[in-house]
Every structure is written in structure tokens, then in C-alpha cells.
Structure 1
Amino acid sequence: MNALTTKAVAGLGVAGALGTASAGAWYVSRPKDVKSKLISEGLTLVGSSSKAWRSVFLTHNGDSEFMSFAGVESGKSDKEAGSKVMSACEGVMKVSVDSEDYNASLDKARKYRTAPNFKTIEAKVLFSDREIAFEDRDWKNLFTIHKGDDAFIEKVKKANSDTSLTKDSTVDTVKDKVKKFCDDLKVQSPNSGGVADYEKYCLQTPSSARIFYENLGTRFVGESGWGSKFDSIKASDNAMFEDIKGTETLNASSPSDKGGSQLRAWCDKEVVKELSDSHQKTRDRCFN
């Protein structure tokens, strides 16, 4: 089981092999509340993932009955509403079979507590526990990451009717265009064929360059490795000397200990920045 869904396929007996169960055995095994009833039916239930509950909200948003049931005001975002939806659904799951509210609660649980029939790509992706891009940083980073992908560039150009966009465009001029491309995709039907593009180009990016590169499997230069790192790139990275020099001038003849210490100081500052700020330099100078 995971935080997204819980599925329990439960039979109430094995009458085909053992014959008709006794009335007493049936009473013991019969559902006691809404939750056990749904489980007995083998339904897939939404789990504890906050993203899954945001997906439920997006699927039913605009349904007045649902909004009233969840206690969510019109205009609330999925991030604001998800926890309220979860709380409301957890409440009906506990209603006893002996309660006068049982049938109404069971109906609501079947509608809102089981895996939804997704209406949009955004809801489908959220339900799979992946966070979607939403910050200014994300749009910049997504362009930085994918600008070498000709297919990505063409898709963003088409979404914005902008033939001037290229891989050499600046992130500040392109970020809103990447956002529009993703915003157009996320409201499409999950059967439209756009899910793969959304998952590839529109998910949340790491908050810093270090997290991004370490997620890719590269390693930040270790405590004793800065001198050798400096020596290994000084012949090919002429701009490095000016970038990292601090108060002392550096060149290709500078000793490794001096160059290494200044390279480390530069990297310590750069790796906490957003990926789009110094993408190529940071990768080449600070990671192995």
C-alpha cells in the first residue's frame, strides 16, 4: 500500500468451496462502517498523499455538492483545498452502518474517496505523487534544462505563436512562454496524448543547482578534491580565473592549493543558487 491509494480486495466468504456461511459468521465479517464497506467491494481508495487529494479537488472542483461537502470556498487553489477534502472524506469513512447517515455517507465516499476519473492532465500527474511546476524559478529552470531539446523549443514556440524563440533566448524573456506552454497542456484531457510532454517538461524543478545535479548522480567536489579539480579544468576554462579570483589574481600557472581554495569558495556560493543562474559553469566546475 502507498500514500496515493489503498486497495483491499476482500471476499466475504468462499462459499464455492465451503458451502453457505453461517449467519453468525456473516455477521462477524459484515462491514461495520463506510470504510470497511468500500474495502469489501474491492475499491481503490485515495491514500494520504496531499497531492492525491489535490487531484481529487481538481477533478470535482465546480461541483456545488462536492464543494459544500468539502467545505471549500469558490476560488480556492488545489493546495489550499486538498487538506479540507481529505478531512471531509475521512469523516464519512467512519460512519457506522447503524447510523441514519450511513447511506448518504457511503454515496459521498464512493464519489470522492475512491480513485477519481481524471478530467485533466494536471490532476492525473498530481495523483501519481509528482509535483507540478508553479514558481517563477521553475519556468526559468525548465528552459535551462531543456533548451538543447529541439522538440521542446518547437512546442514552446507553437504554444506562443512565437517564431523568434531559440535555445539562445534569455531565461527572463522565455520563462512566461514556458509557463503558457505548460498551462495549456495541464488543462487538456489525460487522453489527449499530452501527458508524456507534461511529465517531461512541466514538473517542479529542484530549488538549487546542487540538489539538481546530485539528483542526476553527480557528486559535489569533496573536501580534498578542489586542487585537483582546479588543475583539471584550468586549461579549458579561461573565464574561471576571473570568476573565482576574489582578491588574488589567478592564471593557468597558479598552484593547485591556491586555485582550489578559491574555486571552492566560488562553488559554495553558486550551488545554492537557482539552476538557471549559472547552469553550465556550476556543473563543470563544482561537480565530478
Structure 2
Amino acid sequence: EAVVNLFEISNVSITAADASLNITWDSLPANATAEIYEVASNGNKKLVATSSSDCYLVSGLTNGTTYSYQVLLSYIVNGKKEVTKGIVKSGVPDCPPEPIDTLRVKPTQDDSFEAIWFQDSANDVRLFCSTQKPKYNLGDIVSLSNLEQEMRPLQQRPLSSQTNQSLKPNEKGASFQYNGTELLYIVAVVVKSGSAVFGSLARASKGETVNIKAIRPVNGQINIYIDAPTTATGFVVLYRFDQFPSDIGDVKTIRKYIPLKQYQLNSAIVLDTLEPKKYYFSVFAEFKRDGEKDYSAGSDYL
């Protein structure tokens, strides 16, 4: 009788949410069906569902309680049902914390950067990075084990004493090292019950960051003189009158877009504004990669 090789289920993970657990796995082999069993503490199993997709949501659970599930594959071979050993994973449903929606990353000296975020709770916040733009959005809940495979955890170090003293209430932060030249995407995630709540993205780069040399009033306008990255396609200027903009996505700022040709014509970024107020400026370089717009880390100037 011929030996039949049954492919096993792979990359099973559980993501916790409020009163529910989302079980995911890699795409199924041809002719395979996933079977999901709840495994009791005494080892007894109960079939919960079968699925031909790559995920299953178990709802109606009790927060704070540990649940275990076995996911295996079943096949029909020569008219008979054959099953694999499967993989057992556990999870604890819990009400997810709020995401970190404000994150600023600034270069300091040498290869050091400082990340500052707003946090009004004592949750576990960790920094992750990638040279590729992540596929997740603000508030997405991701299995921590999956995130650790897709992005690199950053080794978080204390902030400088000067930065610590300047933190506002509920602001937290950490420093990290990065000696590469590529643009780095940074995210602060809130970790709870084996899941990570994805926060807003920030960017870190030495070579692509705008260097603001001076800002001067000229003929009723504001001229911003910069050292521009060579591959920039334009610039975004954000300014506020109360504090520095948090990031490129700060909706409480006044925003101006300056095309590259306009900057080259004036040899400066020219803003048609000049009010008797204190301006907090951030300038971001725009880049076009793979048909999409992207932006550098911000450069601040008071």
C-alpha cells in the first residue's frame, strides 16, 4: 500500500480580544480541512468548528480565563478520513488596551534616537522596527509571536536626563540605537495577554532627515533654509503655536506642502504667513517609493 504524506498545519497563533480569541494559521494544503478542538484541562477535546480558510474566531468567552485549542488537518484518503497530529495553542481573552496614537522619533547623537509617546496607563509598551512599511494599521490587534517574526524588537534604553526633564505629564519614552542608512519604520505597541495592539507609525533615518539650518522672516513671509535629502520629491511643513507637532499625522497642526520645484526656485521653503506668535516647526521630506508617497523623520525648529 502506498504511503501518503499528510502536510501538517503550520504557524498557528492566537490573538486575544474582548471575550474572544482569533485563531489563525497558514494557508491550507490542497484537499485539507482545518478542525478546531477546544482542549479542557483534563485533556478532553470538543470539536468547535471546521474551516477551509486560514482563521477562526471563537467568541462568547470569559475574559481572564485561559483557553486551549488544537488545530489539525483532516484529509480524505482512499475514501477514509485521515488526520494530522495538529498543534495546541492557548490564549486568554481580554479587553484590549488603547493603542499608542502619538509617537515621536528624533535623532540625537551618533547612532542614537529617542522615541516619545503618550501613555495614560501602566501597560507594557514595546518598540518594534522594520525597513519595510508594516501592513498593520492603528488599533490592529496582532499576535505578539507573529509580530516578533515580522518586525524586529528594539532594545529600549533610558532617555537622556535632559529629555526626561522635558517630558509632559503622561509622556513616556526610550532611546535606541540604529546605525543603518535606510528609512526605519518604528511603532510602539501595547502588549497584553500575548497580543500586541498596533500603534501609530513613526520614522527614523539619519540620511533622509531634513536638516533645518535657519528660519527667518523675509518680506512678510517665513523662509526655512534646509539641507535637503538628494532624493526628496517635496516637503511637508507642520507648525503649531503651543508645542512641536507629534508626527506627520498630527491633525492639530497647520500643514503646508512644498513641491521640490518650488523649493529649488526659492532656494528655501517659503511660507505665506508671519504672525506675532511663537512657531513650533517640523519639516518632513517626501519620497516616492514603489508608486507610494513616504516621509522622513521630522526635523524640529523653534
Greater strand share, structure number: 2
* Larger helix fraction of residues: 1
**Largest Rg, 1 or 2:** 1
TM-score, normalised with respect to structure 1:
0.28
